Amino acid sequence: MELVIAGGTSHHQAMAQAFFARHAPQVANSSITLNVIENTETPNEKFHLVAKKENAAIHADISISSHAGFRWSLNALLRFIEGAETRIDLQDSPAFARRGVIEGFYGIPWTHEQRLRGIECFADFGMNSFMLAPKDSPWQRFDWRKPFGSQFLGLAKELVERAQLHGLSLSVCVSPGLSVTYSDDNDVAAVMIRYKQLLDLGVTEFGLLFDDIPWELQVPADIAKYDSIAHAQASFTNRVLAELKALDNEAKLIVCPMEYCGRGPIEYIHQLGTHMSPEVELMWTGRQICSEYLDIADAIVFKESAQRPPLYWDNYPVNDVAMTHELHVGPIRGREIGLENYSLGLLANPMEKFEASLLPLSTIGDYLWNSTKYNPQESWDRALAHMVTNPDDHAAMRRLLRNSLGSCLNGNAAPDMGTILGSTTTAWRNGRPEEAAEIFRKSGEVIMRDHALLTSQKFSRRDLIQEMGPWVDKYLVGGQTMEQLAMVLAQCSWTRENGLTGPDGLAAEVLTIRERFEKIQARLFGDGLDLLMGELSAELRANEK
């Protein structure tokens, strides 16, 4: 690959070099000439890309006013290089102002390497923000009064630099709520020591989180001073903001309130909104902690209470706490078209499973870039095609993942399994148990074959398979279960008078198969297979002589 860049700053050049080095396989045989035109009239993240392709030679004129705009133009340029068109003239800009990820889950935090890679991937998804708030890192909620140590700052510096190279803003949050004294200026100073450390690294946006803490004032000094916890938190935030602004007038402060979800107007949010500086961005997870949908009507209600539009903390694809047996790999759904006009943006809380999270996060990037054009299925398929490129591996992985689209916002967690189960029950209820057996046998066979490929040494994304260990194991057990059910059904006969009947003990055998299936707690295949085994056994038992 040859890359020649004319115009722009040395930072633009570094951004383009890093981008194409990262995508070397896609541009291996190309010779790319970029002409960067800085145009202050272009709105912040917007770009104008005019490019043509002549065999392997690509020439692109890119007009932008910001580094972020330049980075997004490279995403569009790569899509053009990979596509069939020979010319493009595209002016584009993102829908949502803030788009990104908040690493805010309970569990093992992402590693430094994952975060570095995450920054690059998030930029490929068109996202501009990455906030670090790992719940179970001691520095996040427990040690917040201590300044960051030199080792932490060394790593944070690398993250900030990587983020700058990809047009993202990186922030590290402070969560003082478990032990803070809101009225104490020493606690404001403790937060500020950390913010100053981050500011010195080039951080410009700061997070102050009050989620998952006691809902009453704890300390006598606070109880004496404030009439409500909302008042205390607003006062604390305003003092932090004033000090932050004194250091850097452009700095931004993002706050997660203590009560961060709900339906309709909430007194606490109203009080917080009234007392807290209007400059502060307030996070909100929607109606629930994990909201099935986020819509304009609710955003309007929030704005009336909080006196500012919500910045969504979207708890998808996170799978912590009570959700650890679920794997959330389906596309984002249920976020309304046009929500960008009623919110400050959206930050997605991912799974501890980093690689697997990238699939739903890619679809979230697409939604946030252009909510009107967003098509969940197409976006998901495009993301998976980039994630697993070998055709056989891709097909097997796709079949596995389509059994775990998971969570309330992807109503049907296992659509293909649903179709299989529909056909088998129709067959046996209509007097054709042997046909039902054959469907199960064949479907089980496909799963077993897939499982062998997915777990073989030659599989191209062994890292993904390793992360999804329990679900991959469950996949195998699912395949075996279907083969066993095929054998059960093959022993059955059906008559209009007696319904489905089989040899004695067959009903109990189905329950044993079911027990073995349920032993692995990882959830896969939705509820259907489990329900079917319950029904099959009940039907056989009812008809036993």
Q: Which parts of this chain interact with ligand GDL (CB under 6 A)?
A: 104-106, 135, 211-212, 256, 260, 285, 289, 313, 315, 318, 320-321, 349
CB of 289 to ligand GDL, least distance (A): 5
The Cα–Cα gap between 108 and 113 comes to 14
CB of 102 to ligand GDL, least distance (A): 8
- What's the helix, strand, coil split of the chain in %, to 5? 50, 15, 35
Name the DSSP class of 250.
T
Output the CA–CA distances (angstroms, integers) from residue 183 to 22, 143, 226, in the order listed. 49, 19, 8
- Using an 8 Å Cβ cutoff, are 228 and 271 in contact? yes
CB of 217 to ligand GDL, least distance (A): 20
- Using an 8 Å Cβ cutoff, are 343 and 354 in contact? no
Q: Which member of 92, 184, 212, 248 is catalytic?
A: 212
Q: Kindly tell me which of 116 and 289 has the beta carbon lying closer to ligand GDL.
A: 289
The Cα–Cα gap between 69 and 167 comes to 8
Convert 154-182 into a string of H (helix), E (strand) and C (coil).
Answer: HHHHHHHHHHHHCCCEEEEEECCCCCCCC
User: Taking the CA of residue 379 as centre, how many other CA atoms within 13 Å lie in the half-sphere pointing to its CB?
Assistant: 25
Which residue do the tokens 């993301």 mark?
A: 383
Convert 223-236 into a string of H (helix), E (strand) and C (coil).
Answer: HHHCCCHHHHHHHH
Which one, of 71, 279, 298, lies nearest residue 162 by Cα?
71
Q: Which helix (H) or strand (E) holds 136?
A: none
The Cα–Cα gap between 111 and 222 comes to 37
CB of 309 to ligand GDL, least distance (A): 17
Radius of gyration of the chain (CA): 27
Name the DSSP class of 294.
B
CB of 493 to ligand GDL, least distance (A): 49
Q: Are β-strands 129-132 and 98-103 bridged in parallel, bridged antiparallel, or unpaired?
A: parallel
Q: Give the nearest residue (CB) to ligand GDL.
A: 211
Q: Kindly tell me which of 361 and 447 has the beta carbon lying closer to ligand GDL.
A: 361
- Using an 8 Å Cβ cutoff, are 306 and 270 in contact? yes
Which residue do the tokens 């790319």 mark?
A: 32
CB of 356 to ligand GDL, least distance (A): 16
* Summary count for the chain: helices (H), strands (E): 19, 15
CB of 497 to ligand GDL, least distance (A): 52
CB of 213 to ligand GDL, least distance (A): 10
Is residue 185 part of the annotated active site? The answer reads: no
In three-state secondary structure terms, 84 is coil
The Cα–Cα gap between 283 and 304 comes to 14
Q: Kindly tell me which of 75 and 319 has the beta carbon lying closer to ligand GDL.
A: 319
CB of 157 to ligand GDL, least distance (A): 26
One-letter identity of residue 157: K
Q: Kindly tell me which of 289 and 511 has the beta carbon lying closer to ligand GDL.
A: 289
Its sign, for the CA torsion 386, 387, 390, 392, is: negative
Q: Where are the alpha helices (DSSP H) in 388-432?
A: 391-401, 415-429
- Residues marked active site are found at 212
